[in-house]
Chains A and B, each alone.
Chain A
Amino acid sequence: MGDWKMIVSVASGKGGTGKTTVAVNLALAWSAERAVRLLDCDVEEPNAHLFLDPVWERETTVNLPRPVVDDEKCTACGRCGEVCAFSAITVLGGQVLVFPELCHGCGGCTRFCPTGAISEILQKIGTVSIGRADGLQLIQGRIKVGTPLAPPVIKAVRQEALSGADGEMDRHSQMPVEPVTIIDAPPGTSCPVIAAVRGTDYCILVAEPTPFGLNDLSLAVGMVRKLDVPFGVVVNKAGLGSGNLKEYCEAANIPILLEIPFDRRYAAWYSAGGRLIDKFPELQAGFHQLWRHIEAAAGEEARGGAVRQLQAWEAGKP
């Protein structure tokens, strides 16, 4: 098991279905068996720490380069505005205007300015905080309020989690590198979710059995299929609403990994920042089953991948 590692993402099309509940309780349950790190990649509204009360160890800043124009050198030729695909820099009445909130930090204007009038400064767009709670490592990303771009902060969180992956020890904490990484993703199906889910070994889609839940689950399924990440569904608030969700999963051949029934006691406990597995033994068993299921599914996927590679190699042999 020395080099055994896996990354599991927890996502959902619809917000508020219970991603953070599943990510936190799964992390706690799994940590009974393996060292676990939890990445909070819902950087617009990170919530995992509210259920873990971590001791923060350090914090890093996430910056994005922004253009600064030297008026002495600028001839107002307009090349920067032609190059910029995001309308973040433009020449108006002989004056260069920069709109930092539209800038993606691609560096095009700086690179192609013929007089070298543009340089870059780093602007803070968010933070990554690293802490520990209940034997878990928690890495949280958080965008600065008013900043539109979440994906660079999500990428920084994932980068931080990779920093210790090559050696036996994490270079910062001097702790063994955690073999299990769980990513709490943002809601939706667009770029921030892609940044959180892409390249993970398995994705748990959390869904609720309502028409909204089903519609958004089908969008999320399209997303994970496009990213080619194996996945299964956790049904939260089961029993509330309609049964169509299960029929959909059966018809589409999607495994239902766990059902968390709707229960006002769970809702009240969650509301106050409580972890379900601390209070409700029936759910403790459910979350243990969940990680066993994922370990098995991902292991099978890895073996399937190896077989496919072998077949491809056999097919390609002269």
Chain B
Amino acid sequence: MKELLVISGKGGTGKTTIVGSLAVLAANKVLADCDVDAADLHLLLEPQPVAATEFSASKQAVIHPQQCSGCGICLDVCRFDAIKEIGGRLAVDEIDCEGCGVCFHACPERAIAMEDKLSGHWFISQTPYGALVHARLGIAEDNSGKLVALVRRQARILAEEQRAEYIITDGPPGIGCPVIAALSGVDLALIITEPSVAGKHDLERILQLTRHFGVKPLVCINKYDLHPGYTEEIQQYCRREQVDIVGLIPFDETVVAALVQGVPIVAYEDRNGTREAGSAASAIKEMWTAIESLLTPALSSGS
């Protein structure tokens, strides 16, 4: 079983659009949406939830006023400025509290309790293209990294049960905690970039990150014809860095039309009989063929 992660560094380069299409193209796989704070894959895949589970990865300090002597030790020991004095009383700011428990251990009156905090939900759903593991982080919650790790763990369990060949994961933007949680230990990272000054800048940083974690990167330039000059620059940069470019996808308004219909672009084309050479959908199909040959060792695909 091989894990393919789709990431981008910069947001909005087309990760979810591409994962939606790979969901149609790849046979025998489990899908995972690890963009847990702005998940969108479900909008393309019509998931029917099979199971929903609460996710609680952290605790939160709560001060019980009856026991509190107001000594202020908690105020001094908290490094996140989460203890506030409001109207002469000490209280915990639930957004600032990171749940470290230092105040709980330090309080001489034992007036502080650490309570479970609901951080979100995760789901297993059925889609026309296979099983999807996805999640929803609560509004203004932290622990997205832990939720990403949980989604990946569940996707792996499901893939083993179903003897799936691939896990295809929609990753979060950026290079921080949720991305690191999504990246560590995957077989291939497909980086979606765009031909712009910002796209190139962000590609350089996410490539460093894949190196840092020893994951093989592949690059796809989406909307490559919007700025041929930057496409050329990114191609040169990738050659220097010895990173393969597996996809050049043209700007195509059909992609937006498919999105508005809530259908993956490659399925939209088939459905509407508008198949055209040189379209975004045909470029994505070619890209998947290239990726699949890299994921499948030559021996097993040969016979």
Contact = CB atoms under 8 A, between A and B. Distances in A.
Interface of A: 13-17, 20, 44-45, 47, 50-51, 83, 85-86, 101, 104-108, 111-112, 143, 145-150, 186-194, 198, 208, 210-212, 215-216, 219, 222-223, 226-227, 240-242, 264, 267-268, 270-273
A145 B100 contact: no
B16 to A, nearest CB: 6
B174 to A, nearest CB: 4
B237 interface: no
B101 A13 contact: no
B102 interface: yes
Contact of B260 (A44, A143, A210): A210
Given A148-B145, A241-B259, A272-B197, A219 B37 contact: yes
Contacts of A13: 37-38
Contacts of A198: 95
A272 to B, nearest CB: 6
A179 B8 CA distance: 35
Interface stretch (B124-132, B222-230, B242-250): B222-230
Nearest to A227: B140
A240 to B, nearest CB: 5
A273 to B, nearest CB: 4
Question: Interface centre among B79, B144, B174, B253, by most A CB within 10 Å?
Answer: B174
A50 B196 CA distance: 10
Contacts of B105: 83, 108, 111-112
A47 B43 contact: no
Given A16-B11, A50-B201, A272-B230, A143 B176 contact: yes
Nearest to B257: A241
B58 interface: yes
B217 interface: no
A242 B256 CA distance: 9
14 contacts: A15-B12, A45-B198, A83-B102, A106-B98, A112-B105, A145-B175, A149-B177, A150-B176, A188-B37, A188-B144, A190-B137, A192-B176, A227-B95, A240-B256
Contacts of A226: 139-140
A227 B194 CA distance: 33
B27 interface: no
B140 A16 contact: no
A187 B59 contact: no
A145 B12 contact: no
Given A45-B174, A111-B102, A212 B10 contact: no
Contact of A17 (B12, B195, B201, B226): B12
Contact of A45 (B10, B101, B145): B10
B141 to A, nearest CB: 6
